[in-house]
Structures are given as structure tokens and as C-alpha cells.
Amino acid sequence: MPSLRAHVFDWIIRWQVKPKLARAAGDVAAVRRIFDQASFPEPPGITFRPAEIGGIPGEWAERPGLAPDAPRLFYLHGGGFVGCSPRTHRPLTGAFAMRGFRVFCPDYRLAPEHPFPAALDDATAAWSAFAAAGPAGVAGDSAGGNLSLALMLRARRDGLPLPSAAVLFSPSTDMLGEGASMHANARRDAMFDPTKLQNLVEAYLAGHDPADPLASPLRGDLAGLPPLLFHVGAREVLRDDSVRFAEKARAAGVSAAVTIWPVVPHAWQLAQSFLPEARRSLSEAAAFLKSHARTPEVVR
């Protein structure tokens, strides 16, 4: 049963965030300000330090005293491809650090100043160097979930190590927006009006083919991907981006699980200091990543 706090949080997002995003439609700078102003408490006792991996700036999140062989996680933040940063996503990277991971979050370039494939290029450069240091998992939320999946397709294509497993929180997987939930959940989604999401797609793609699998991972050949776990809200317009991807992945022989959470809004894991569903989601994701920890394979 959903918690009372889930209902409260859904109400807050529905009445305080969704109208702002709707009014800002077409104004990428305004959308960026809204995303960047989102403020959630950082988990206590976690050290955040700047770093550069593979020539890409970013931030480590670590719990003091962590064992040298602690599992490693490469986290790609969301933000509609136009906003947010490792700093805005400290509630998530810090939450994984609390659960025993050594986490790196790259500060990839944002659209529209740097359209597709700049963000993916940065993620690939950072992942190539990160994975060279040992086995690791990958995780991402929203646009970061899209980049996580596209990164795996590109890594497989280019002969880079694949992650041991991946967790995707409400990822965008289809830039053509053909999932049934885009229409069925248009009013139920607490954050997004699907008619306004096209502005973010256009800012990111800048005329590039939305059916390109590196932009819409759902359109790619999914064979050979590592185990995948999707967490998505039942009311989200992006719900079927996860459901359809998992179905296609399983048909290609990939282990893929989806948990559909009632009531909670998009990227609810950011509210881990307040929301029990956020803490449960993060704990389940951490357990999944740890259960699949192994030496990543290199696909030739």
C-alpha cells in the first residue's frame, strides 16, 4: 500500500512543479532553472569530491572507511538532457554510497548548447576509463537512464566493457514517444505534460533522427546486454518506456525486471530523505547491483 507521504509528495509535485514546467515549455533556460532549483537533502556522512575520469569532469560519492574492494557504480544523472548535475543528484549518488558503493557521476555536457551526441560522447569517454579500472555497475534516472542504456549499446558496438548490471529509474527510452502511457497517463502524471516533452526532445536531438538507437535505445538490438532492473511509477507518462524496453530485452534473451510503483511521481528516489518508497527503491536497486557484481565482459 502506498504511504501517506507518497500521496503528499505526488500532490506537491503536481501542484508546484508541473504548472511551472508547463509554463516554461519551449524555454529551455527556464526548464533548466526549474530542474536545477530542485533541492533535496544530501545523505549524511558521505564525502563528495570533484574528479576527472577519461577527461570528463564529475564527482565521487563515497562513505568514509569503505573497503578497497567495495562495489563501484557509474551514475548518470537525469534532467531532461538540459539541466541538473552531479550536485543536484547527490541524494541519489549519496544514497548508493551509503549502501556501500563507490560512486562516480560524470558532469556531461547539456543541450541545447551541446546537442546529441555530446552527452553520450562524454558518458562513453568517462565509462571507458572507469571500466578499465575494474568491474562496475551502471545506473541512471530519466534522461540519465536513456544515456545509461545508450551507453551500453555503444559499448557493445565499440568493444568496451559492459557493466555487470544496470538500474534504470524511469528512463526515457523512445524519443518517438509511442508508448501507450504517453496518452493514458497524460493527466495522471504529476510532473510532465507529454505535449511539452517534445521541446526537450528537440533541444537534445537538434534535428537528429529520433529513431537512432543511440537516441532511442528501445529501437536498438538489445541482445547481449547485462541484467537490467527498471523502477517506474504507475502514473508516469514514461511508464511504458520501461515496460516495452524490458519486454523487448527479455525477448532478446536479456534478464530484465520491471517494478511499477503506485502513486509516486517521476524520479521519486530523489526524495529519499522523506519518502519510504524512495528508500525502498534505492535499497532494492543496490541489492540488485550487488547480486550481479562480476567482472564485465568485453564484446568483440
Q: What is the pTM of this model?
A: 0.96
* Of residues 20, 142, 170, 167, the one with CA closest to residue 82: 142
The pLDDT of residue 136: 97
Determine which one of 231, 236, 281, 292 is catalytic: 236
How many residues belong to the chain?
300
Q: Which residues contact 223 (CB under 8 A, 6 or more apart)?
A: 252, 253, 254
pLDDT of 296 reads 39
Burial class of residue 300, CB neighbours in 10 A (0-12, 13-18, 19+): exposed
Q: How many beta carbons lie within 10 A of that of residue 256, not counting itself?
A: 23
Query: What's residue 297's pLDDT?
Result: 42
Q: Which of 77, 89, 231, 266 is catalytic?
A: 266
pLDDT of residue 294: 63
Gap between the Cα atoms of 187 and 10, Å rounded: 13
- 236 a catalytic residue: yes
Record the cell numbers describing residue 104, joined without a space.
562516480
Residue-range domains of the chain with CATH: 4-292 (3.40.50.1820)
Known catalytic residue at 77: no
**pLDDT given at position 68:** 86
Q: How far apart are CA 54 and CA 56, in angstroms?
A: 5
Q: Residue 1's pLDDT is what?
A: 87
- For residue 258, the surrounding DSSP H or E stretch is strand 256-261
117 within 8 A of 99, measured Cβ to Cβ: no
Residue 67: CA count within 13 A, CB half-sphere: 5
- Listed in order, strand segments (DSSP E) in 120-195 are 137-141, 166-169
Q: How far apart are CA 140 and CA 242, in angstroms?
A: 13
Please confirm, yes or no, whether 52 is among the known catalytic residues: no
Q: What's the pLDDT tens digit per position in 109-123?
A: 999 999 999 999 999
Where do the DSSP E strands lie in 24-95?
A: 47-53, 56-62, 72-76
Low-confidence ranges of the chain (pLDDT < 70): 294-300
Q: In what order do the strands lie in the sheet with 72-76?
A: 47-53, 56-62, 102-106, 72-76, 137-141, 166-169, 228-233, 256-261
Nine cell digits for residue 89: 543528484
Q: Annotated catalytic residue: which of 142, 170, 242, 281? A: 142
